[in-house]
C-alpha cells in the first residue's frame, strides 16, 4: 500500500502545465464493482496522476444510464471538496490515517453525508461495502466508526468543512499573496460549480435568436454582454469599444439537448474565454485600418497565428468572426459605400499546437462548426487555414521552406498560453490534486520561452494577445512585466474603464471566478510591436 497522499504531477489536465507523458495506465482504472467502488478507483487513478478528463468517460461509459448522474456528482463533489475533506478527516481519527485507499473511501463517504444528502444508512453501508470490495476489509471498522460519528451531527461537520478553502495549502498561500482582498471570496468560489455558457456562431445566427430557440426547447438562458475598451495608439479612433455577447444557461444541460448543436450553431465556451477572439480580431482590424489610411493599399494578404490552438475553441471563434458578414469581418464592406474596400483580400491563418491528439480535436470542432478549409472556400472567404503540430518554443514560420526569409510575417498573434489552469479549477477540480508548487515556476518558464520565440515573428505594428486561464500573478501580470522589460519594442495596449469584466492590473486585466454567475479566471494582456 502506498503511504502518501501526494499526487504525481504527470499528466496534469491536458491543456495546461508542462508534464511528461510517460504515465502508465493506472491499475485503478479497472471499472467493475459497485458505483462507489468505481468512483473510488477513479479518484485513486487521479491521485496516480491521471487527469479527470482522461478518466471521466471510462467511468461513465462503464455504468448504466441510471447510475451515471450519481457517479458524476459523487466524483466531482469529492474532488471539489477534496482538501477540506482531507483536513476534516485528520480531525476525526484518533491516529493518522496514511493509506490512500482508506482515506479516499472515507472522503467519498463524507461527501455523501455532508454534500449529497444521501440517506445515512445508505451512505455508510454502501461505502463500507465498497471498502470490502476493494479488498481492504481491515479498515471497515474504522470507516464505519468515522462515518457514523459524522452522521450524528452532519451540519456541525459541514460547517467545519466549509469554513476554510478546499485547496492545497501551497496554492491557498499563493492566492493570499496575490489576492489578499479577494482571498476569501476567491477560495470559496473555487469550490463551486461553474455556470454553463454558450457561444453563438455569429456567422449563422444572433445570440437573441438562439436564446429564443432555447426557450422553444424549454431551456432558460440569460444573455451576458461583456464590454471591452482599449486604446490603440495609431488608430483614428483612439478608444476601441467592443461588445461580446454569450448565453448563460440556468442549468447545466447536455449538449445534445441544445437545438441545432450538431450543426454548429452554438458551442460550449466559458464567457471569459469568449473575449479572446473578438479582442485580437478588433486589434487586427485597427492595424489594418491604420495601414489602409497610410497607403490606401487594400490588396493585401494578412497572416495571423493561433499559437496554442488545441482543441480549437478560440480558433473556431476567430474563424466565426472572420466568416460572418457583419462589421467584425475583415472582408466586410458597407453595402451603401461603393468606394469601400475590404480590409483584407486574403487571409492566412496558421494554428499550431504541440499535441497531436489534441489537434485531432481541432478538426472535430471545425467540422461540427462547418469551418473546415473546404467550408471556408465554399463560402468564398479567401481564408487559408493551416494547422501544424509543432512546439511553439522553437517553431519558426516558413522554416522548412527553401525561401524562408526570417522576416516577421504575422499581423496578429493569439497566444492562449499553456498555464497552471488555476482559473478553471471549478470545471477541472482535479487540478487542485494534480498541480504541485513546482509547476508554477516550470510553467512560467515555458510561457516565457513561447513568448520569446513568437515575438520576433510578429510584424511591426502587429498585435499579440496573451491569454491564460491562471489566477497566479507569476504567469500573468508578472510574466508580462518581465516580457516588456526585456523587449523595448513591446508597447502595452491598455484596457480602459469601459471594461465590465476583470480587475485592472498594471498590465492587462484579470478575471477571478468569484461570482457564481461569472466566467472563469482568465487573464488578458494586449501588446503591440512598435517599429524596429
Ligand X SMILES: C[S@@+](CC[C@H](N)C(=O)[O-])C[C@H]1O[C@@H](n2cnc3c(N)ncnc32)[C@H](O)[C@@H]1O
Give the CB-side neighbour count of residue 269, counting CA atoms within 13 A. 28
# chain residues binding ligand X, by CB under 6 A: 18
| Backbone torsions φ then ψ of 181, nearest 5 degrees | -65, -40
Residue 427 touching ligand X (CB under 6 A): no
CB 149 within 8 A of CB 142: no
Residue 442 touching ligand X (CB under 6 A): no
Residue 355 touching ligand X (CB under 6 A): yes
Nearer CB in complex with ligand X: 234/354: 354
Residue 471 touching ligand X (CB under 6 A): no
Residue 126 touching ligand X (CB under 6 A): no
Nearer CB in complex with ligand X: 204/309: 309
Give the CB-side neighbour count of residue 90, counting CA atoms within 13 A. 8
Residue of 213, 393, 396, 481 interacting with ligand X (CB under 6 A): 393
Residue 139 touching ligand X (CB under 6 A): no
Residue 320 touching ligand X (CB under 6 A): no
308 is an annotated ligand-binding site residue:
yes
CB 520 within 8 A of CB 467: no
Indicate which residue of 161, 389, 419, 469 is catalytic.
469
Contacts to ligand X from residues 402-421, by CB under 6 A: 416, 418
Nearer CB in complex with ligand X: 246/461: 246
Neighbours of 391 (CB within 10 A): 12
| Backbone torsions φ then ψ of 492, nearest 5 degrees | -85, 130
Nearer CB in complex with ligand X: 453/530: 453
Shortest Å distance, C-beta 414 to ligand X: 8
Binding-residue pattern over the window 481 to 510 for ligand X, x denoting contact by CB under 6 A: ------------------------------
Shortest Å distance, C-beta 369 to ligand X: 12
181: its cell numbers: 482582498
Residue 312 touching ligand X (CB under 6 A): yes
Residue of 309, 321, 344, 465 interacting with ligand X (CB under 6 A): 309
Shortest Å distance, C-beta 358 to ligand X: 5
To the query of whether residue 469 is one of the catalytic residues in this protein, the response is yes
CB 494 within 8 A of CB 230: yes
| Backbone torsions φ then ψ of 200, nearest 5 degrees | -100, 135
420 Cβ partners below 8 Å, 6+ apart? Answer: 16, 17, 431, 435, 439, 440, 443, 470, 472, 475
Residue of 353, 375, 494, 520 interacting with ligand X (CB under 6 A): 353
312 is an annotated ligand-binding site residue:
yes
Residue 391 touching ligand X (CB under 6 A): yes
Instruction: Let me know if 63 is exposed, middle or buried by CB neighbors in 10 A (0-12, 13-18, 19+).
Output: middle
Shortest Å distance, C-beta 349 to ligand X: 13
Residue of 9, 12, 15, 244 interacting with ligand X (CB under 6 A): 15
Nearer CB in complex with ligand X: 160/372: 372
| Backbone torsions φ then ψ of 124, nearest 5 degrees | -75, -50
Nearer CB in complex with ligand X: 330/450: 450
CA distance 498 to 227: 7
416 is an annotated ligand-binding site residue:
yes
3-state secondary structure 261-309: HHHCCEEECCCCHHHHHHHHHHHHHHHHHHHHHHHCCCCCEEEEEECCC
Segment (H or E) for 383: strand 383-389
Residue of 392, 433, 451, 471 interacting with ligand X (CB under 6 A): 392
Segment (H or E) for 92: helix 82-92
Residues that are catalytic: 469
Binding site residues, ligand X, CB under 6 A = 15, 308-314, 352-355, 358, 391-393, 416, 418
Amino acid at each position: 500500500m502506498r503511504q502518501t497522499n501526494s499526487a504525481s504531477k504527470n499528466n496534469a489536465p491536458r491543456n495546461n502545465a508542462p508534464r511528461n507523458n510517460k504515465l502508465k495506465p493506472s491499475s485503478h482504472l479497472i471499472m467493475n464493482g459497485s458505483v462507489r467502488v468505481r468512483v473510488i478507483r477513479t479518484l485513486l487513478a487521479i491521485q496516480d496522476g491521471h487527469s479527470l478528463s482522461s478518466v471521466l468517460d471510462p467511468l461513465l461509459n462503464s455504468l448504466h444510464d441510471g447510475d451515471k448522474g450519481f457517479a458524476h456528482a459523487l466524483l466531482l463533489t469529492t474532488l471539489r471538496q477534496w482538501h477540506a475533506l482531507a483536513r476534516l478527516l485528520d480531525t476525526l481519527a484518533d491516529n493518522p490515517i496514511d493509506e490512500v485507499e482508506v482515506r479516499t473511501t472515507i472522503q467519498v463517504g463524507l461527501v455523501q453525508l455532508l454534500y449529497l444528502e444521501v440517506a445515512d444508512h445508505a451512505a455508510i453501508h454502501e461505502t463500507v461495502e465498497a471498502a470490502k470490495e476493494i479488498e481492504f476489509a481491515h479498515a471497515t471498522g474504522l470507516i464505519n466508526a468515522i462515518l457514523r460519528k459524522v452522521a450524528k451531527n452532519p451540519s456541525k461537520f459541514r460547517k467545519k468543512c466549509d469554513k476554510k478553502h478546499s485547496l492545497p495549502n501551497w496554492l491557498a498561500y499563493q492566492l493570499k499573496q496575490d489576492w489578499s482582498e479577494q482571498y476569501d471570496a476567491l477560495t470559496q468560489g473555487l469550490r463551486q460549480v461553474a455556470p454553463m455558457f454558450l457561444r453563438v456562431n455569429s456567422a449563422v445566427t444572433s445570440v437573441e435568436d438562439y436564446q429564443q430557440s432555447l426557450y422553444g426547447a424549454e431551456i432558460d438562458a440569460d444573455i451576458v454582454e461583456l464590454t471591452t475598451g482599449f486604446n490603440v495608439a495609431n488608430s483614428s479612433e483612439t478608444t476601441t469599444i467592443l461588445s461580446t455577447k454569450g448565453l448563460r444557461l440556468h442549468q447545466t444541460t447536455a449538449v445534445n439537448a441544445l437545438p441545432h448543436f450538431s450543426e454548429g450553431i452554438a458551442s460550449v465556451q466559458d464567457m471569459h474565454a469568449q473575449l479572446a477572439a473578438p479582442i485580437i480580431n478588433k486589434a487586427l482590424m485597427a492595424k489594418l485600418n491604420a495601414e489602409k489610411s497610410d497607403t490606401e493599399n487594400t490588396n493585401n494578404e494578412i497572416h495571423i497565428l493561433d499559437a496554442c490552438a488545441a482543441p480549437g475553441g478560440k480558433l473556431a471563434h476567430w474563424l466565426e468572426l472572420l466568416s460572418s458578414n457583419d462589421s467584425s469581418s475583415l472582408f466586410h464592406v458597407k453595402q451603401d459605400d461603393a468606394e469601400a474596400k475590404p480590409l483584407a483580400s486574403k487571409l492566412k491563418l496558421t494554428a499550431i499546437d504541440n499535441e497531436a491528439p489534441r489537434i485531432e480535436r481541432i478538426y472535430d470542432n471545425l467540422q461540427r462548426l462547418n469551418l473546415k478549409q473546404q467550408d471556408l472556400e465554399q463560402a468564398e472567404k479567401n481564408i487559408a487555414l493551416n494547422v501544424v503540430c509543432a512546439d511553439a518554443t522553437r517553431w519558426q514560420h516558413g522554416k522548412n521552406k527553401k525561401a524562408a526569409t526570417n522576416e516577421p510575417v504575422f499581423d496578429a498573434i493569439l497566444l492562449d498560453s499553456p498555464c497552471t489552469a488555476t482559473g478553471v479549477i471549478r470545471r477541472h477540480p482535479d487540478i487542485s490534486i494534480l498541480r504541485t508548487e513546482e509547476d508554477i515556476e516550470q510553467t512560467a518558464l515555458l510561457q516565457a520561452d513561447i513568448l520569446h520565440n513568437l515575438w520576433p515573428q510578429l510584424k511591426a505594428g502587429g498585435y499579440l494577445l496573451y491569454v491564460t486561464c491562471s489566477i497566479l500573478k507569476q504567469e500573468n501580470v508578472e510574466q508580462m512585466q518581465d516580457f516588456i522589460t526585456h523587449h523595448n519594442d513591446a508597447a502595452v495596449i491598455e484596457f480602459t474603464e469601459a471594461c465590465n469584466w476583470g480587475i485592472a492590473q498594471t498590465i492587462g486585466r484579470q478575471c477571478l471566478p468569484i461570482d457564481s454567475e461569472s466566467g472563469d479566471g482568465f487573464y488578458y494582456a494586449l501588446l503591440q510591436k512598435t517599429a524596429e
